[in-house]
A and B are shown apart, each in its own frame.
Chain A
Amino acid sequence: MINLTIDGKKIQVEEGTTILQAAENLDIKIPTLCFHPLLEPYGACRVCVVEVTLNKKTNIVTSCNTKVKEDMDIQTASERALKARKLNIEMLMAQAPAAEPVQEIAKELGIEKTRFEITDTEEKCILCGLCVRACEEVVGASAISFVERGAKREVSTPFGEESEACIGCTACAFFCPTGAITSEDLHGRKVIHEELGLGPSTAIRIPIRQAVPMVPFIDEESCIHFKTGKCKLCEKVCEKEAINHEAEDTEIEVEVGSVIIASGFKSFDAKRIPAYGYGRYRNIITALEFERMVNASSPTGGDILMANGEEPKAVGIVHCVGSRDENYNEYCSRVCCMYSLKFAHLLKEKTEANIYDFYIDMRCFGKGYEEFYHRILAEGAKFIRGRVAEITDLALTEKEEGKLIIRSEDTLLGVVRRIPVDMVILATGLEPGVDQKDIANKFNISCSQDGFFLERHPKLAPASTFSDGIFLAGACQSPKDIPDTVAQAGAAAAEALALADKGTFELEPVTAEIDEDLCAGCQICLGLCPFTAISYNEEKTICEINDALCKGCGTCVSACPSGASQQKHFRDNQIFAEIEGLFIE
């Protein structure tokens, strides 16, 4: 432990502590510019200078990188130190007049203006080197450094050209105290749809504002540590030591009796309809994107804004995008009309925009939905019956300049209309999830022609499949809204529970069985069984049939080359005996 005095106050600190840290312990604030607790001290700005007396010798030193020594007597604001500090700030005010932190310290020190010549009134960079040190020490990319000498010194990439070493992590902008480097400079556009995946975000983040559980995750793709091996600043600052970059995915095996598949749906990819301009024109968004924007926890705070931050004055809602369409999906996605009405209502509530709904049929079934439709009609949304042919920005009249024009048939009027709007919402339909085929193969269940999972009976058994013990819930089986999903989920759960609860149950007797002596363990039957009723016994090196699962379809019986698999009550000799019986006179 080292004993020293700062501004007349005595203090004891550990060896290796800097003067700046020791002063902080005493709540004495020494102004700094080029210092950051997460980076190695650099000693460039010389604003943190203090006067140190040791062994009768007095010196001016920088407090950020000078380690304390026994018996040091430090004055943080002596006349000499203060004079140097003030002059350095005054000179920085001339070098970088637009740097706010410099202005703040100048105000604290009572400096009103600088006596020195100002060359660039917009200059913000104070050459503190925090960005350079961050890029080297934390990120490990070393993409930027100081170039040129003396008053011409500046931060740049090698030869001022685009650097391959830069990984676009924006750490430099993060550490920059004056805003001389900004992430907007790096990406070139305003970050407004960040959480919709349209802009950059940090590698460690909470996925969405209403995530459950409400904890951040690390995105390996953008995490600096996984790119360069350095950083790990999050681990350093986490007080609970809850971060471990080395954690790996683990596979867990669970043995279960029944499975409920509720793997959901995916939105129709609007890019597949080029005529609608999604991804080509700004302000054409999908239903889910609009849903996100309008949520109170969205980046816009729930405001409905265009890409340039302004409120739209006219909005078009296009129904049946990807649904009821020979070219894409023939089925109706069931939920779009109702949510479109909801959007129209929200638009009316939050903006002054004119709303145009382009529909084919309004499907407002069930309780209160038709009434809601009428309400929206009363609110003044305009409904145009017709299929939208294209959305374009090619203006034909002055009124259409700078707008998105929706060209659609109006079947009730019998004309083709061009409606100029500011924003278009595409009511994209529901499709089977990305992993639908994968799941079907794994669990050996079938899909219907439209890709959704095949239920055992469309009317009487919508929650179960042809495989015993595998049940379905939600949109993976067919497009449906939330009340229907909840109902179906309850049904699936009940059936699964019933299965678990049964104890004993009746089986069909007409199942197949395998003769142990004849079975060679070739496993041809195993792959063929549509009910995954056959398993391979490694010890006995034979196949075995699970009576509970076997449905007696006979596929294994016909496939077995040695005749080991036989259908009970339908053995060859039984069948021949029956035939013979028919011929008895």
Chain B
Amino acid sequence: MTEKNKDKTFRIHLMVCAGTACVSNGSFEIKEALEKEIKKYDLKEEVLVVTTGCNGFCERGPLLVVQPGNIFYQQLKLKDIPHLVEEHFLKGRPVEKLMYSPPEEKTPIPILSDIDFFKKQVLIALQNRGLIDPEKIDEYIARDGYRALAKALTEMTPEEIIKEIKESGLRGRGGGGFPTGLKWEFVRNATSPNGGEKYIICNGDEGDPGAFMDRSILEADPHCVIEGMLIGAKAVGASQGFLYVRDEYPLAISRLNIALEQAREYGLLGKDIFGSGFDFDIKVTRGAGAFVCGEETALLASVEGKLGEPRPRPPYPAESGLWGKPTCINNVETWANICRIINRGGKWFSSIGTETSKGTKVFSLVGKINNTGLVEVPMGITLREIIEDIGGGIPGGKEFKAVQTGGPSGGCIPKEKIDLPIDYESLSEVGSIMGSGGMVVMDEDTCMVDVAKFFLTFTQDESCGKCTPCREGTKAMQQILTRITEGKGKEEDLSLLEDLAKSIKDSALCGLGQTAPNPVLTTIRYFRDEYEAHIQEKKCPAHVCRELNTYTIDEDICLNKGHGCDLCRKNCSADAILGEKKQAHKIIQDKCIKCGVCYDVCNFGAVKVD
């Protein structure tokens, strides 16, 4: 086949989401089924099936976007495929029953950009999502890929690059929020001992529970991270880069390796890139299951092959990092923004967002929310817009209670603050942090003490154990919280928790320990009454802490509605329910182990919990 100067045209492109979530839901099988049906109907020359990275609307996977036309199909099952291919791609009749309808409504919304989840998003870091095959470098290049690199290498000086980044106002997206341009300047101005080299590191050790922003970027658009690192290396004067990815992201790692190989083949990594005399290459280093290695000095230790524990700062990595040399460490999302800024200008980037926080942020919207998924929104958008407009509100018509941001280092923001515009400063004012972008929505059925316990259990498990306050302090706090949720809380527990929290924050060695008490502090600040209910009344208002629940049967309902159906007694593993068929049933409190199964199985609502 002769080399044409344009690719072959297909009239329909099927963009199948192949982010890890959809893959685990069977999107590769869907792809195979599509290809089989397409072959069957002899549409192979007309319809192209493309696997892309995460589309974002994870709640509705497996999903597929038909281009041209932006038609959105969701919750696909293998048995739907033959019908879909025949109806839409052969006969031209889109299939309504596979389209998205908002909950409680019947009318489907065919076009992606009309769907609320997508409408308010502004894609910068994720600008290629759903539009390219991440394993084809040419498609990345077609969408302005490596153009910024060309510009940076041939038309700009390192100082100019740094100036552009500073002007953009980009701040570290890993949670620190440190001005990126300023950090690059520090690294540029630092001298490496013995005239040695400098390093670039991309921190892909995303460990917050429920956070998958970095994973999605790496799976959907690995090249933008590579390009960002190349530009950064030119700016600070580094010659070697490391991409530290947690080992639990095999798909991201494999796509990265493919991308790196392709970039090397094109000479975009290696020696004398674009003939400019600039050398740079990237090595992928895999993590080994330690959340603490997301902390930058522990990450450095891990890359160096040492025990993954943090070291005191100063000196900061910009001055003395990997093997003692100046090192620029930035998060995946930060790197993803770089080539966009260089292409469109720092001024353009700083026109989005708020006074102090420029640009957009990727959030993983999870928890008690209708539209779970990955969203990128401009800084300054309110929580209400995210939760109600994009998120589609709380499922089951339940009441919104709080949203947790920043993972185990962050805090809970109560419903009173739902109109809070999101940026670095506003979040820290209410006692939380931006963090890496995890956003967990909670409703009336969430117990805030249980939430604090959950995060403390996580931090306790992930603590490296080097310093006393983190190792022993999180254990102590977790033990106290566990006691409280079991109804064994004491009067002095709250003040002890607060004292512990403050001293741990003061004397812990690294960010993990210093921020571990945050979930406890914010939940006490905004939900003190729940703690007091647990301690004084030995009750859990959300009925989550099972040992504090009392289950009773409303005999009236049981007899008249349920007619003594006996389902609860049959399922009670503690033999704690008395009753016979067609009679009202009763729970023997002494025997009840509070497992809650009777509550779950009763179809008539006769079991009450208090």
Which A residues fall within an 8 A CB radius of B? 43-47, 49, 60, 62, 65-66, 80, 83-85, 87-88, 91-92, 94-95, 115-117, 127, 129, 145-146, 148-153
**Cross-interface CB contact of B465 among A83, A85, A91, A148, cutoff 8 Å:** A148
In the complex the two chains form, what is the Cα distance from A511 to B221 in whole Å? 106
Whether the Cβ atoms of A151 and B463 lie closer than 8 Å is yes
**Cross-interface CB contact of B312 among A43, A92, A152, cutoff 8 Å:** A43
Whether the Cβ atoms of B473 and A91 lie closer than 8 Å is yes
Residues of chain B within 8 A (CB-CB) of A47 are 468
Residues of chain B within 8 A (CB-CB) of A94 are 472, 476
In the complex the two chains form, what is the Cα distance from A83 to B469 in whole Å? 12
Which B residues fall within an 8 A CB radius of A? 290, 292, 307, 309, 311-312, 460-469, 471-476, 479, 496, 499-500, 502-504, 506-509
Report the nearest B residue to A65, measured CB to CB. Answer: B312
Whether the Cβ atoms of B469 and A84 lie closer than 8 Å is yes
Residues of chain B within 8 A (CB-CB) of A127 are 465-466, 471
Complex A-B: 29 CB contacts under 8 Å: A43-B509, A44-B468, A46-B467, A46-B507, A46-B509, A47-B468, A49-B506, A62-B507, A65-B312, A83-B503, A84-B469, A84-B506, A87-B473, A87-B499, A87-B504, A88-B468, A92-B472, A115-B496, A116-B476, A145-B307, A146-B466, A148-B465, A149-B462, A150-B461, A150-B464, A150-B465, A150-B474, A151-B475, A153-B465
Residues of chain A within 8 A (CB-CB) of B473 are 87, 91
Whether the Cβ atoms of B506 and A151 lie closer than 8 Å is no
The 6 A-B residue pairs with the shortest CB-CB distance, nearest first, are A153-B465, A91-B472, A150-B463, A84-B507, A60-B506, A84-B503
Whether the Cβ atoms of B469 and A150 lie closer than 8 Å is no
Residues of chain B within 8 A (CB-CB) of A148 are 465
Whether the Cβ atoms of A44 and B507 lie closer than 8 Å is no
Whether the Cβ atoms of A87 and B500 lie closer than 8 Å is yes
In the complex the two chains form, what is the Cα distance from A46 to B290 in whole Å? 23
Q: In the complex, how many angstroms separate the beta carbon of A118 from the nearest chain B beta carbon?
A: 12
Report the nearest A residue to B508, measured CB to CB. Answer: A46
Asked whether A44 and B466 contact (CB < 8 A) given A80-B506, A83-B499, A87-B499, the answer is yes
Residues of chain B within 8 A (CB-CB) of A62 are 312, 507, 509
Q: In the complex, how many angstroms separate the beta carbon of B34 from the nearest chain A beta carbon?
A: 45
In the complex the two chains form, what is the Cα distance from A85 to B290 in whole Å? 28
Whether the Cβ atoms of B462 and A150 lie closer than 8 Å is yes
Residues of chain B within 8 A (CB-CB) of A49 are 506-507
In the complex the two chains form, what is the Cα distance from A83 to B312 in whole Å? 21
Residues of chain B within 8 A (CB-CB) of A85 are 507
Residues of chain A within 8 A (CB-CB) of B506 are 49, 60, 80, 83-84
In the complex the two chains form, what is the Cα distance from A85 to B504 in whole Å? 10
**Cross-interface CB contact of B290 among A60, A115, A149, cutoff 8 Å:** A149
Whether the Cβ atoms of B312 and A91 lie closer than 8 Å is no
Residues of chain B within 8 A (CB-CB) of A116 are 472, 476, 479
In the complex the two chains form, what is the Cα distance from A62 to B355 in whole Å? 36
Report the nearest A residue to B310, measured CB to CB. Answer: A43
A-B pairs with beta carbons under 8 A, tally: 101
**Cross-interface CB contact of A92 among B307, B311, B460, B468, cutoff 8 Å:** B468
Q: In the complex, how many angstroms separate the beta carbon of A191 from the nearest chain B beta carbon?
A: 33
In the complex the two chains form, what is the Cα distance from A522 to B368 in whole Å? 108
In the complex the two chains form, what is the Cα distance from A66 to B311 in whole Å? 12
Report the nearest A residue to B291, measured CB to CB. Answer: A149
New A-B contacts (18) at CB < 8 Å, excluding given A43-B467, A94-B476: A44-B468, A45-B467, A46-B508, A49-B507, A60-B506, A60-B507, A62-B312, A80-B506, A84-B469, A87-B473, A87-B499, A87-B500, A91-B473, A92-B468, A95-B468, A117-B476, A146-B465, A151-B475
Residues of chain A within 8 A (CB-CB) of B312 are 43, 62, 65-66
Chain B interface SS verdict (over half): helix
Residues of chain A within 8 A (CB-CB) of B502 are 83
Report the nearest B residue to A89, measured CB to CB. Answer: B468
Q: In the complex, how many angstroms separate the beta carbon of A98 from the nearest chain B beta carbon?
A: 16
Q: In the complex, how many angstroms separate the beta carbon of B128 from the nearest chain A beta carbon?
A: 37
Residues of chain A within 8 A (CB-CB) of B496 are 115
Report the nearest B residue to A151, measured CB to CB. Answer: B475
Residues of chain A within 8 A (CB-CB) of B311 are 43
Residues of chain B within 8 A (CB-CB) of A45 are 467-468
Residues of chain B within 8 A (CB-CB) of A149 are 290, 292, 461-465
Report the nearest B residue to A45, measured CB to CB. Answer: B468
Whether the Cβ atoms of B469 and A46 lie closer than 8 Å is yes
Whether the Cβ atoms of B464 and A91 lie closer than 8 Å is no
Q: In the complex, how many angstroms separate the beta carbon of B75 from the nearest chain A beta carbon?
A: 40
Q: In the complex, how many angstroms separate the beta carbon of A266 from the nearest chain B beta carbon?
A: 52
Asked whether A117 and B468 contact (CB < 8 A) given A43-B312, A87-B499, A87-B503, the answer is no
Q: In the complex, how many angstroms separate the beta carbon of B13 from the nearest chain A beta carbon?
A: 47
Whether the Cβ atoms of A91 and B460 lie closer than 8 Å is no
Residues of chain A within 8 A (CB-CB) of B509 are 43-44, 46, 62
Q: In the complex, how many angstroms separate the beta carbon of A436 from the nearest chain B beta carbon?
A: 56
Residues of chain B within 8 A (CB-CB) of A92 are 468, 472
Residues of chain B within 8 A (CB-CB) of A115 are 496
Residues of chain A within 8 A (CB-CB) of B468 are 44-47, 88, 91-92, 95
Report the nearest B residue to A51, measured CB to CB. Answer: B506
Residues of chain A within 8 A (CB-CB) of B467 are 43-46
Asked whether A151 and B465 contact (CB < 8 A) given A46-B507, A46-B509, A60-B507, the answer is yes
Whether the Cβ atoms of B503 and A153 lie closer than 8 Å is no
Q: In the complex, how many angstroms separate the beta carbon of A545 from the nearest chain B beta carbon?
A: 68
Q: In the complex, how many angstroms separate the beta carbon of A54 from the nearest chain B beta carbon?
A: 13
Report the nearest B residue to A87, measured CB to CB. Answer: B503
Asked whether A146 and B472 contact (CB < 8 A) given A43-B509, A62-B312, the answer is no
In the complex the two chains form, what is the Cα distance from A258 to B474 in whole Å? 81
**Cross-interface CB contact of B507 among A66, A88, A152, A153, cutoff 8 Å:** A88
In the complex the two chains form, what is the Cα distance from A85 to B496 in whole Å? 15
Q: In the complex, how many angstroms separate the beta carbon of A156 from the nearest chain B beta carbon?
A: 12
In the complex the two chains form, what is the Cα distance from A42 to B471 in whole Å? 15
In the complex the two chains form, what is the Cα distance from A44 to B463 in whole Å? 13
In the complex the two chains form, what is the Cα distance from A116 to B503 in whole Å? 15
Q: In the complex, how many angstroms separate the beta carbon of A260 from the nearest chain B beta carbon?
A: 61
Report the nearest A residue to B461, measured CB to CB. Answer: A150
Report the nearest A residue to B479, measured CB to CB. Answer: A117
In the complex the two chains form, what is the Cα distance from A343 to B37 in whole Å? 106
Residues of chain B within 8 A (CB-CB) of A151 are 460, 463, 465, 471-472, 475
Residues of chain A within 8 A (CB-CB) of B475 are 150-151
Report the nearest A residue to B506, measured CB to CB. Answer: A60
Residues of chain B within 8 A (CB-CB) of A66 are 312
In the complex the two chains form, what is the Cα distance from A45 to B470 in whole Å? 10
**Cross-interface CB contact of A95 among B290, B307, B472, B479, cutoff 8 Å:** B472
In the complex the two chains form, what is the Cα distance from A146 to B496 in whole Å? 30
In the complex the two chains form, what is the Cα distance from A116 to B472 in whole Å? 9
In the complex the two chains form, what is the Cα distance from A47 to B468 in whole Å? 9
Q: In the complex, how many angstroms separate the beta carbon of B498 from the nearest chain A beta carbon?
A: 11
Most chain A Cβ neighbours within 10 Å, of B290, B466, B476, B499: B466
Q: In the complex, how many angstroms separate the beta carbon of B36 from the nearest chain A beta carbon?
A: 47
Whether the Cβ atoms of B476 and A150 lie closer than 8 Å is no
Most chain B Cβ neighbours within 10 Å, of A46, A47, A88, A152: A46
Report the nearest B residue to A66, measured CB to CB. Answer: B312
Residues of chain A within 8 A (CB-CB) of B309 are 146
Whether the Cβ atoms of A146 and B476 lie closer than 8 Å is no
In the complex the two chains form, what is the Cα distance from A44 to B509 in whole Å? 8
Q: In the complex, how many angstroms separate the beta carbon of B474 from the nearest chain A beta carbon?
A: 8
Report the nearest B residue to A117, measured CB to CB. Answer: B479
Most chain A Cβ neighbours within 10 Å, of B462, B465, B469, B508: B465
Residues of chain A within 8 A (CB-CB) of B471 are 127, 150-151, 153
Residues of chain A within 8 A (CB-CB) of B479 are 116-117
Report the nearest A residue to B483, measured CB to CB. Answer: A117
Residues of chain A within 8 A (CB-CB) of B292 are 149
Whether the Cβ atoms of B499 and A150 lie closer than 8 Å is no
Q: In the complex, how many angstroms separate the beta carbon of B149 from the nearest chain A beta carbon?
A: 39
In the complex the two chains form, what is the Cα distance from A152 to B466 in whole Å? 11
Residues of chain B within 8 A (CB-CB) of A83 are 499, 502-503, 506
In the complex the two chains form, what is the Cα distance from A46 to B310 in whole Å? 14
